[in-house]
Amino acid sequence: MRKYAVLETRAINGKVCAEKGDIVYSIKGYDYGLANDDTRAFGYKHISVTLDKDGDYPSFTIPQHHLRELHDDV
């Protein structure tokens, strides 16, 4: 599962989903095409993420360029 730092606050319809500095995770389930829809609608890549460390729902889409992937030191 991938882990990301949010670079810009993400709000959808006025509701904040994640604030700048939050950590989000790739979802383990299906996003029902929402990221693909947003990618086509806005013209830049979106991915679906969640605030849940286990990758569970609820999820939301966010522009990929608003994220920085984090890597755990091994």
User: What are the pLDDT digits (tens) for 36-69?
Assistant: 999 999 999 999 999 999 999 999 999 999 999 9
Q: pTM value?
A: 0.92
The domain ranges of the chain are 3-70
Q: Which residues pair with 32 in a beta bridge?
A: none
Cα 16 from Cα 71, distance rounded (Å): 25
Mean pLDDT of 11-29: 96
